[in-house]
Amino acid sequence: MGLSTELFDYILPEELIAQYPADRRDGSRMMVLDHISGETRILPFPAIKDFLSPGDAMICNDTKVMACRLYGRKEGRPDGAKFEALQIELIPGSKGANWKAMLKPGKRAKDGTCVVLLDQNGELCQHYFTVKRKFDDGTFEIEFSTDDYLAVQNCCGHLPLPPYIRREAGKEDANRYQTVFAHYYGAVAAPTAGLHFTNEILQELDEKGVNRAMVTLHVGPGTFQPVSVSDVSKHKMHTESYILPQATANLIANTRNASRKVLAVGTTTVRVLESCADDNGTLTPGSGSTDIFIYPPYKPKAVDMLLTNFHLPKSTLLMLVSAFASREIILEAYARAVKEKMRFYSYGDCMLII
C-alpha cells in the first residue's frame, strides 16, 4: 500500500465554502505559512508585497474562462428534452465547431441527437449542436452549427461556476471569476489564486522591482475531482493543455542565477513549470498537454514559493500543496484556517507558502 488518500482528508464546515467573492478583489485574507517551521500568520492580501523582493519573479497563468456552459432543447421543440453542455476542449484538427463536452442527461445523448441552444434570455436561437459520439471517459464529441464558437458563447454561454457554488452565475461573476491578467480563452475554471490581484497591486510590485511573466494552462473540469482510489499512486490524473513561453523560461533562469526566488501564482502555474523542468530546475519552453501528478515526497524543482487558495479534501490540488511543506504542516494550517473562519475554495481566501 502506498500513500493513503485518507491522509489528505479534513473536515470543513459547509458555511466556510465561499459562495460569492469578497467585496473587493483584494479584500481576501491571506494565510502566510512558513514551509519549514509551520508558523502561520493571517494578513490582508495586499501584504503579499512584503514577501517579495526586487529581482524575484512572479509567474501567473493568463488563461481565460470560457462562457462554456450551454443549455438547449432537443430538436428545438419548446417541449423537447432539456440538455446542459459543458464545453471542455476543442477537438484537435477542428476549426472551432467540434468540441469535447460533458452532457446532461448523458443517457439521452445518442449519436445524431440535435440540440438547439437557448440564448442568455432563455429563448431558442439559431445555434445548435449535434452529438457525434461518446468517448470512453463518458464525455462526448459535439459539433456546433458554426466554427465561430465565441459567437455561440457570446449568445448562449454562461460562466461555469464550480459545483460547490450553489447558485447560477450572475453579472458580477463575468468580472470577478476572471483574473485581471486573463488573456487566452480556453479554461472551464478560473486559476483562482490569481483572482486576488488588482492592477494597482501589480503596478506596486512592478515598481518594487518584482518581475512578472506568464504561462498558460487551460484549467479543465478534472481540477474539482477528488481522488477516489485508496492509494494515491493509483489515481489517473486528468490532462490539461499548456504553453510555456521562451521569455518566461528565460526570466526564471535569470532569477535563479541571481539567487532570487520564484513565486508561482496558483497550482496551475506549478503544473506548467514542473512539467517543463528537468531535475536541475532548468525549463524547456514549448506547448503540449500535461498530466503531472504532484504529491509528497515530490520536491518542486522550479518553484520556491506558492500562492494558492484552500482546496477540497482528498483532492489532487491539496496533495500538490502538501509537496511544498509537509502533509502534516499543511493540514495543521488548514485546521487553523477553519478555526479562524477563513473562506474556502474558488472565491475564498488564500495561502502564501514561503
- 119, 122, 124, 126: CA torsion to nearest 10: -10
Residue whose grid cell is 491539496: 318
DSSP-H helix ranges across the chain: 149-156, 173-176, 199-208, 246-257, 267-275, 316-322, 327-339
Q: Which is nearest to 284 in space by CA: 340, 244, 242? A: 244
Q: Which is nearest to 179 in space by CA: 166, 189, 192? A: 192
191 pLDDT higher than 60: yes
Residues forming a β-bridge with 72: 83, 117
- Amino acid residing at 38: G
What is the share, in percent, of the chain residues with pLDDT greater than 70?
100
CATH number for domain 5-65+173-353, candidates 3.40.1780.10, 3.40.640.10, 3.90.1300.10, 3.30.70.3400: 3.40.1780.10
Residue whose grid cell is 493543455: 241
Q: What's the rounded mean pLDDT across residues 294-313?
A: 96
Contacts 24+ apart (CB under 8 A), 205-210: 205/49, 205/52, 205/58, 208/49, 208/52, 208/53, 208/54, 209/53, 209/54, 209/55, 210/52, 210/53, 210/54, 210/55, 210/56, 210/57, 210/58
Residues forming a β-bridge with 283: 277
pLDDT of residue 343: 98
Asked whether the beta carbons of 64 and 183 are under 8 A apart, the reply is: yes
All three cell numbers of 75, joined, read: 430538436
290 pLDDT higher than 70: yes
Backbone angles phi, psi at 274, to 5 degrees: -70, -25
Residues forming a β-bridge with 103: 85
Q: Which is nearest to 288 in space by CA: 237, 220, 241? A: 241
Entry pTM: 0.93
In angstroms, rounded to a whole number, what is the distance separating the alpha carbons of residues 324 and 351?
A: 12
Q: pLDDT (tens digit, 9 = 90+) per residue, 91-150?
A: 988 888 999 999 999 988 999 999 999 999 999 999 999 999 999 989 999 999 999 999
Residues forming a β-bridge with 241: 289
* DSSP reduced 3-state for 85: strand
pLDDT of residue 77: 87
Q: pLDDT (tens digit, 9 = 90+) per residue, 45-65?
A: 999 999 999 999 999 999 999
CATH 2.40.10.240 at 69-156, yes or no: yes
1 pLDDT higher than 60: no
283: DSSP letter: B
Backbone angles phi, psi at 334, to 5 degrees: -65, -40
Backbone angles phi, psi at 201, to 5 degrees: -65, -40
Sheet strands (E) in the chain = 29-33, 40-44, 57-61, 63-65, 69-74, 82-90, 98-104, 114-118, 124-134, 140-144, 184-187, 211-217, 240-244, 262-265, 286-290, 305-309, 350-353
Average pLDDT over the chain, rounded to whole? 95
All three cell numbers of 249, joined, read: 523560461
Q: For residue 301, is it left (φ>0), alpha (ψ between -120 and 50) or beta?
A: alpha
Q: pLDDT (tens digit, 9 = 90+) per residue, 225-275?
A: 778 899 998 998 988 999 999 999 999 999 999 999 999 999 999 999 999
Q: Which residues contact 150 (CB under 8 A, 6 or more apart)?
A: 185
Domain borders along the chain are 5-65+173-353, 69-156
Q: pLDDT (tens digit, 9 = 90+) per residue, 64-81?
A: 999 999 999 998 888 889
Residues forming a β-bridge with 212: 58
